[in-house]
Structure formats: C-alpha cells, structure tokens
Amino acid sequence: NPASLVQIMLHLGEMVTATQSVNEETLQLLAAELDYNLLVVSPEEEDRELLETFDIEFGEDEGDESDLVARPPVVTVMGHVDHGKTKLLDAIRNTNEVAREAGGITQHIGAYQIATEHEGEDRKITFIDTPGHEAFTAMRARGAKVTDIAVLVVAADDGVKPQTIEALNHAQAADVPIVVAVNKVDKEGADPNKVRAQLTEYGLVAEEYGGTTMFVDISAKNGIGIENLLEAILLTADAELDLRANATMDAQGVAIEAHLDKGRGPVATVLVQRGTLRVGDSIVCGEAFGRVRAMLDDNGEAIQEADPSRPVLVLGLTAVPGAGDNFIVVTDDRMARQIAQQRAARKRIADMARSGRRRTLEELFSEMEKGQVDELKLIIKGDVSGSVEALEDALLKIDVGDEVRLRVLHRAVGAITEYDVNLAVADDNAVIIGFNVRPEVRARDLAEREGVDIRYYSVIYQAIEEIEAALKGMLKPEF
Ligand code: GDP
C-alpha cells in the first residue's frame, strides 16, 4: 500500500508523500528494491496496446494482397527559410487550377491533392501545405509517419544553408526519399550546378553526376519546371516506394491540422492513409471523437468519401485533436468515446508524472480554451456554513452556456486540510477555494509541492466575478 511504499522510499533516502508524483528514476529505484521489473512503455506502445483491447490494429493494412491498390505519394516541402517553399506550394496548386471543378474556391486546409499525367496515366500527388520541417518533425516526434517523399527546396542564388542540411537530415533519418528542387533559376547569379555540387557532400548525388537523386531546376515565381518536378516526384515514388493501401477497410490516418471554428466547432484536416473515410463514420482522433458530419476537400467542396492519401477537412468531432494524432474509424460511437476517454485519462496521468505538479487555475483555463477540458472542478472551504452554501449557490448559478460547467467536488466548513489538497490532487484539475479560511501548514506545503491551485476570497461577489470571468474566457475559441 502507499504508506509502506513511502517507508521504503524513506529507507532509500527519498522523502516522498503518497500523493506526490515521482520521477522515473525514483520508480526504478523502488522497483529494484522490491525486486520488480519496471517496464517503461512509450506512449505509442501504450496506445497500440489500448487499441488492441478494442481489437484495432493501427497502421496495418488488413486483408489480402489483392485488396491493395496504388495510392498517391504524400509530399512535404522542406528547405531553408526564403528559398521558396511557400511560393512552390502555391505554384504547384496553381498549375492544377484547370483540374479544379468550376466554382471551387481554394481552401487552405493544411494539405491538397493535385492531378497530373505521368507516362500516359492519370496520377495524383498529395502535398502537405505547411512548409518547413517543423511540421514534419513535430508529427514524426508523435510517431506519425505521414511523408512519403520530401522535396528539398534550395535557392540557386543562395546555395546550401544550415536549414537545408537540417531538413535533409530529418528526411534521411526518417528514411524518406528526397527530390531536390533547385529554385530561383530565373535570378541573376543563380548557379544550379553549384547546388548539385554542394549536396554531393551530403550524400545527395544528382543522376547526371552518376547518383540516384533527382534534381529539378525550377522557378516557383515564374512557374518554370513545375511539371518536371511533379514528374520527378512520381518517378522517385515508382522507383523507390511501393505505395499501396487497402481502400476497402475502415479508414485510418493522421490529423495534420485542427482548430476550433466559430461556426462549425472543432474541425480537423486528416490524411486518410488506408481505408475509405465516409460521412457518417464514427471516428476517434487522438482524444477527440465523434461522427463525421461532413467532409470538405481542399476546394471547399463537400465530399462523401475519401480514399487513401486524400486530405479532407472533417466536421463533427467533439474536441480539437493535435497535429500528428492518429485517427481511426470504429464500429460505433460508444467505442469511439471509450477510446477517446481512455486516452485522455492516460494522458492526464502521463502529464502528471512528467510535470510532477498539477495545473494552476490559469493553465487550466488556457487548456479549457483549447477545448480539452469542459469542466471546472472546485473544492470550497469557508468559515461558516452559511457562507459556504451561499458561495456554492452563487457559483453554481453562473451560466455561461453548455460548453463549460462547474462542478463542486466537496464543500465544508473549516481550514483547508491535507484531505482537501489530496482530493484536488486525485481529481487532477480541481481548484480549492478558501473563503475567509487559510490552509493548515501541512496542507499548504502539500499544495505547493503538488502544484494545487488555492484561491482565497473574503467577499462573495469577488469570487463569483473571478470564476465567471474565467469561465467566460474559456468560451472564446482561439484561432
Ligand atoms: P519560404 O520561406 O521558403 O516559404 O520562401 P517563400 O516562398 O516565402 O519565398 C521567399 C522569397 O523568395 C519571396 O519573396 C518569393 O517571392 C521569392 N521567390 C520564391 N521563389 C522564387 C523564384 O523562383 N524566383 C524568384 N526570383 N524569387 C522567388
């Protein structure tokens, strides 16, 4: 039990309380003492296990070899700042303008798909529309493998720069083939061959130099060489990758971008990696879940289904997922909710373990703003029962709509005790309100150690004002 563990820790020279979060090192120490094998599992591993309890395997194409169909490559554009990544992404989109249906309006949803012709066949390519390797690494750090091919943009008048090397390191570490776009060839002083020479040092040897990397000279500004670049991407994909997916299974993929839309609620751009996503599907995306109410493509057109490598904007989630969160279609809403809730619970524990402290009221509000928490939990302590009840009544009457609510976990007369603090700790996000009372010394110390937020008031309206203002603040969606 906790008490004996605390004793053992004391013997080991560690002063801890039963409710205190301990770091991994301390846990290892404890495990060694008790002759336990402590296995620290990665979040990805843990999530895989969680999904397995629901009989879901993420990242695996199910079915037979015969179910696999070719899917378009997914491309990320990387390179040094100002070398033309954004311009190139715009240029690629624009050359494809004709392919867009009349009436469509370009929507920046974080990714787009274009149609092109390659060796007499109709082909598609998906581009991640957030340039730079920040997005790439952020997603990779979360275990999401999104990119099939990296386009490394290098300005011909500037040559290889620190971020060029950084970008290619990231791509090589992820084992992603690179196509080099030598940009700004229209500029005076442009020296495309110098770029080729410079990059040989980093293992990128151009085909014309006897290597295997495709280099394409382009001008994103003048739209020169764009078709050649698309050609090179498809040639590289066909030569080095076997891009196929099962389009018949329940859809799986990754969230690329998400935000809270004033009118539409949480919206997320997801990239379907396998299976086919349909309107009406029950999905889980990170800790968000819901039913796909509608899907929009990058032209703002409503679509009914999305096949592998297709990016779509999904409406109908309960919360805003994070970039790099995986999404899966499950059999029903109940399962979706269960998975999302279990993930949220695990994340809370992991966060606690990591930070070793709880959140303050301010941090909590900012988190609620992001739509992750919908409840503000309070523990109210006061000097006389009349004031405690009055305060509770008043606080519960605060009406800020359905999106956030207030819950009183416990209220009592008397000083703030260790019990109150422990309760706040156990119920992670709870905040303690002290009305004309102070905490006991040990309670104060514990609260400090655990990072529990205690607020003191001596006037009721002040407490109401502050809580109400905060609750209202949480309603404002952040863009
Ligand atoms: P990013 O920081 O890599 O996204 O670079 P941008 O796409 O914002 O481009 C940086 C600057 O270079 C902008 O002023 C562009 O207009 C300019 N630029 C981009 N591509 C070309 C090009 O092919 N030729 C010329 N002359 N300028 C370009």
Coarse DSSP helix, strand, coil percentages of the chain, rounded to the nearest 5 percent? 35, 25, 35
CA of 170 to the centre of ligand 1 (A): 22
Give the pLDDT of residue 321. 86
Length of the chain: 479
163: Cβ contacts below 8 Å, ≥ 6 apart: 79, 80, 81, 133
| 346 within ligand 1 shell (Cβ under 6 A) | no
- 131 CA: nearest ligand 1 atom: 4
For ligand 1, mutation pick of 80, 82, 152 (most atoms within 8 Å of CB): 82
The reply to whether ligand 1 has any atom less than 6 angstroms from the CB of 358 is no
Mutate to test the pocket of ligand 1, among 87, 187, 218 (most ligand atoms within 8 A of CB): 87
Tens digit of each residue's pLDDT (9 = 90 or more) over 214-238: 999 999 999 999 999 999 999 999 9
At residue 33, the pLDDT reads: 66
Q: Is the CB of 183 under 6 A from ligand 1?
A: yes
Distances (CA, A) of 427 to 209, 415, 450: 64, 20, 12
- Going by alpha carbons, the residue nearest to atom 2 of ligand 1 is 82
Kindly state the tokens that stand for 150: 């990296």
Contacts of 123 (CB under 8 A, 6+ apart): 72, 115, 116, 117, 234
| Cα–ligand 1 centroid distance for 221 (angstroms) | 7
From residue 399, give the alpha-carbon distance in Å to each of 224, 365, 394, 467. Answer: 59, 16, 10, 11
Q: Which residues contact 307 (CB under 8 A, 6 or more apart)?
A: 71, 247, 272, 276
d(CA 311, CA 307): 9
pLDDT of residue 453: 87
Q: Residue 83 CA: which ligand 1 atom is closest?
A: 3
Residue 351: both structure tokens together: 């966060």
Residue with structure tokens 């863009």? 479
| Residue having the nearest C-alpha atom to atom 22 of ligand 1 | 184
Low-confidence ranges of the chain (pLDDT < 50): 98-99, 354, 356-358, 476-479
| Residues paired with 288 in a beta bridge | 285
Cα 181 to ligand 1 centroid, rounded to whole Å: 13
How remote is the CA of residue 90 from the centroid of ligand 1, in Å?
A: 11
Q: Decide: 185 in ligand 1 pocket, CB within 6 A.
A: no
Closest of 131, 124, 147, 152 to residue 324, by C-alpha? 147
Structure ipTM over 0.95, yes or no: yes
Q: Candidates 81, 130, 221: which one to mutate for ligand 1, based on the most atoms within 8 Å of Cβ? A: 221
Contact between residue 300 and residue 285 where contact means Cβ atoms under 8 Å apart: no
CA 28 – CA 169 distance, rounded (Å)? 34
